Chain A
Amino acid sequence: MSTLTLAKAINAGLRRAMQDDEKVVLLGEDIGALGGVFRVSDGLQAEFGARRVIDTPLAESAIIGTAVGLAYRGYRPVCEIQFDGFIYPGFDQIVSQVAKLHYRSRGAVKMPITIRVPFGGGIGAAEHHSESPEAYFAHTSGLRVIAVSNPQDAYSLLRQAIANDDPVLYFEPKRRYHVKGEVAEELGTSMESATVVTAGTDVTLLAYGPLVTTAADAAVAASDEGVSIEVIDLRSLAPIDYPTIEASVRKTGRLVVTHEAAQSGGIGGEIIAAITERCFPFLEAAPVRVTGWDIPYPPAKLETHFLPDLDRILDGVDRVMGR
């Protein structure tokens, strides 16, 4: 057990995975001597060599496409996409190849590829550096999608993702990279499971990635006003742990989902539809989404008007409470 930042926890998870399995190789831009633009792979090339920590030319489709070839050969590639908004040149390889090859080959070819993506805004960055593209991948059959919120999950879920024989999109909340927490070298509960962060009885509040902390803060603030919020960290966006959400909603009867990504076609809408199907008689009010707007990610000086924050989440809670 040691105190690590979220970035260092990922680094520790990568190191451990590489120690445990020599077939684990890392590919990405600037991940070698520099240690990645966020220093997540700091020191790994020095420790494991340039054959296993591969600085690639600047081509995202090729990072993913060569990982497919390595996976055919029996490797477990971990690809780093430098920023969320840079993943689109690799989109075809992810959707048409990585996601489908196990199905296309009728189970003969496994694609144990982990694709790490720093995601989300709130850091005053330039265009294409603050996006939340997770819904595209949650919509794609054959992929697993993870979004972590704290150092322990960052470590444990990364190790599970790398060990999993399915391809996994692993989203890292870049504005929380420097948040510290205790990290035990354990795999923890299944990466498919959501966790209850704060128990409550009046409202179920779902969040993932960077907004889990904000949601937990909202629960504290709401309790001052006598509203008991149950905060659930989804962790897995595909598949979604519906039993955990259902149990909570049956208890509270009220549901709020928050994410930075745009609203339409998003994770929140999907969850609300599914929960409405499964828990309709238990709902006391129409579920509420507190999300980014359906706009391109705005310039840094306007991002506070895009990102859900404590007050907007509390406003959503008020609405679902009919207040």
Chain B
Amino acid sequence: MVETVSDFVQLLTPEGVRTPSPDFDQWVSDVDAPQLASLYEDMVVVRRIDTEATALQRQGELGLWPPLLGQEAAQIGSARTLRGDDFVFTSYRENAVAYCRGVDLTDIIRVWRGNAQSGWNPYDIGMAVPAIIIGAQTLHATGYAMGCQQDGVDSVSVAYFGDGATSEGDVNEALVFAAAFKAPVVFFCQNNHWAISEPVGLQAIRPLADRAPGFGVPSMRIDGNDILAVMAATRIALERARSGNGPTFIEAVTYRMGPHTTADDPTRYRDAAELEEWKAKDPILRVERLLDSLGLFTAEFQAGVKAKADAVAAELRHGCITLPDPEPLSVFDSVYTTPNATLDRQKAEYTAYLASFEARDGQNSDDVTDAASVTAASVNAVSVTAGGGRL
């Protein structure tokens, strides 16, 4: 499968030249110089986040990191068009989307440091717990959209997923349901060409966007490295959803320039030449060139963007290395919404087990009283959770 420029919608060439499009231009006519500069800054900042997080992983501060390097335009361009009352359901690579939704930086790395299975409260930023199971979130987005429909509001849900996910049954079922119920959902597929080591050609022998019309879902295939094309397409899809005309499928053609995660080694399965080819289509570089042609890419502007990116990276690093380890007994928290006798018993057992070490340690120190009181508290907890009965 070979893409050429004519295969997709492109408003900004890799050389930074604005190309007119009668159908799409109207959707980005408001993007003036300051807004363009702001979009550029966001892209640079999230690339800096990627660099910093990768460094933190190499330094042993993070267990894993999934870089989005190369997909900045696809994520920033789409996420910046959303409203606060919209809701996004993503995979694990959408850290730029999280950034646009206003996530606390420490919450981005909480998962990858191994402290929690999620970072943020989904209701605070309108973004669900990222799905690790590939494609599962497309059904959640569809159900959420059905809820918006039922509530009579014009909020929209957006499902972010990749080319690999399109082979999953859940994505296909989501398209069936979204079409059947005309749900206000946008299926935003980032075709980054690689599902770990498997090329997109293994998932699909035709462009992914071609599938959606068969489900009754209109689709667009756009240059995912062109932030203007991404914004225009997303706005078209959002407007369709808000006005009661149902779902849209967007295939944003982009490229995963980095590894799948920091545990991956792409040199085992892809050509260096392919990466070079895509470096020339870098999503940030072309906006840089456009800004330059407009006389906006001044030394002062560049210094401002760099300062912002460095500040964000420093905040991320600080949040990461100062994040306290979770309390041992918090392992039992939030399994159920209400107390559960079976779990309470196991927690009591483990509490007593941990306390037995503290008591033993305490005998070797001056602080016997404290250790004993911990044990007493644990025993007390045991009888309380058992309702005072025999354990």
Interface residues of A (CB under 8 A from B): 25, 51, 54, 56-57, 59, 61-62, 64-75, 77, 89, 92-93, 96-97, 100-110, 141-142, 144, 164-166, 192, 238-243, 246, 278
3 nearest A-B pairs in the assembled complex, by CB-CB distance: A69-B143, A65-B139, A73-B147
Closest Cβ of chain B: how far from A136's Cβ, in Å?
A: 17
B146 touches A66 (CB 8 A): yes
Q: Give Cα A241–Cα B341 distance, bound, in whole angstroms.
A: 8
What would 12 more interface pairs be, CB under 8 Å, given A68-B140, A70-B143, A238-B342?
A: A59-B173, A69-B145, A70-B144, A89-B169, A93-B139, A104-B117, A108-B122, A166-B336, A239-B342, A242-B341, A243-B387, A278-B390
- Among B121, B180, B335, B390, the one with the most A-chain Cβ atoms within 10 Å of its Cβ is B335
Instruction: Tell me which residues across on chain B come within 8 A of A66, comparing CB atoms.
Output: 139-140, 142-143, 146, 177
Spot the interface stretch: B128-136, B196-204, B269-277, B281-289.
B128-136
Contact of A105 with B129 at beta-carbon distance under 8 Å, contacts A69-B141, A73-B143, A192-B341 already known:
yes
Look across to chain B and name the residue whose beta carbon is closest to the beta carbon of A242.
B341
Q: Give Cα A64–Cα B390 distance, bound, in whole angstroms.
A: 39
A102 touches B337 (CB 8 A): yes
Interface of B is mostly: helix
A-B contact count (CB 8 A): 153
Closest Cβ of chain A: how far from B151's Cβ, in Å?
A: 7
Instruction: Tell me which residues across on chain A come within 8 A of B342, comparing CB atoms.
Output: 238-240, 242
Q: Is B188 at the interface (CB under 8 A from chain A)?
A: no
Q: Is B118 at the interface (CB under 8 A from chain A)?
A: yes
Instruction: Tell me which residues across on chain A come within 8 A of B176, comparing CB atoms.
Output: 57, 59, 62
B129 touches A109 (CB 8 A): yes
A62 touches B136 (CB 8 A): no
Residues facing A in B69-87 (CB within 8 A) are 87
Q: Give Cα A97–Cα B142 distance, bound, in whole angstroms.
A: 15
A96 touches B136 (CB 8 A): yes
B173 touches A69 (CB 8 A): no
Q: Is B174 at the interface (CB under 8 A from chain A)?
A: yes
Instruction: Tell me which residues across on chain A come within 8 A of B338, comparing CB atoms.
Output: 164-166
Per-residue interface assignment for chain B, residues 333 to 368, with 1 indicating a CB less than 8 Å from any chain A CB and 0 otherwise = 111111011110000000000000000000000000
B121 touches A105 (CB 8 A): yes
Closest Cβ of chain B: how far from A172's Cβ, in Å?
A: 23
Look across to chain A and name the residue whose beta carbon is closest to the beta carbon of B142.
A66
Closest Cβ of chain A: how far from B148's Cβ, in Å?
A: 7
Q: Is B267 at the interface (CB under 8 A from chain A)?
A: no
B389 touches A92 (CB 8 A): no
A65 touches B136 (CB 8 A): yes
A62 touches B121 (CB 8 A): no
Contact of A69 with B118 at beta-carbon distance under 8 Å, contacts A62-B170, A109-B129 already known:
no
Closest Cβ of chain B: how far from A135's Cβ, in Å?
A: 15
Instruction: Tell me which residues across on chain A come within 8 A of B145, comparing CB atoms.
Output: 69
Mind listing 22 A-B residue pairs with CB under 8 Å? A54-B181, A61-B169, A65-B138, A65-B140, A66-B143, A67-B143, A69-B142, A69-B157, A72-B140, A100-B117, A102-B334, A106-B116, A106-B333, A108-B122, A109-B122, A109-B128, A142-B335, A164-B338, A239-B342, A242-B341, A243-B387, A278-B391
B335 touches A108 (CB 8 A): no
Interface residues of B (CB under 8 A from A): 87, 89, 116-118, 121-123, 128-129, 131, 133, 136, 138-148, 150-151, 157, 169-170, 173-174, 176-177, 180-181, 333-338, 340-343, 387, 389-391
- Among B122, B138, B336, the one with the most A-chain Cβ atoms within 10 Å of its Cβ is B336
Look across to chain B and name the residue whose beta carbon is closest to the beta carbon of A77.
B143
A72 touches B177 (CB 8 A): no
Look across to chain B and name the residue whose beta carbon is closest to the beta carbon of A56.
B177
Instruction: Tell me which residues across on chain A come within 8 A of B180, comparing CB atoms.
Output: 56-57
Instruction: Tell me which residues across on chain A come within 8 A of B181, comparing CB atoms.
Output: 54
Contact of B177 among A59, A73, A240 (CB under 8 A): A59
Q: Give Cα A301–Cα B387 distance, bound, in whole angstroms.
A: 49
Instruction: Tell me which residues across on chain B come within 8 A of A108, comparing CB atoms.
Output: 118, 121-123
Q: Give Cα A103–Cα B335 distance, bound, in whole angstroms.
A: 5
Q: Give Cα A69–Cα B142 distance, bound, in whole angstroms.
A: 7
Instruction: Tell me which residues across on chain A come within 8 A of B139, comparing CB atoms.
Output: 61-62, 64-66, 68-69, 93
Look across to chain A and name the residue whose beta carbon is closest to the beta carbon of B148.
A73
Look across to chain A and name the residue whose beta carbon is closest to the beta carbon of B145.
A69
Contact of A62 with B173 at beta-carbon distance under 8 Å, contacts A106-B118, A166-B336 already known:
yes
Instruction: Tell me which residues across on chain A come within 8 A of B121, comparing CB atoms.
Output: 105, 108
B143 touches A97 (CB 8 A): no
Closest Cβ of chain A: how far from B54's Cβ, in Å?
A: 24
B118 touches A61 (CB 8 A): no
Q: Give Cα A145–Cα B143 distance, bound, in whole angstroms.
A: 24
B147 touches A103 (CB 8 A): no
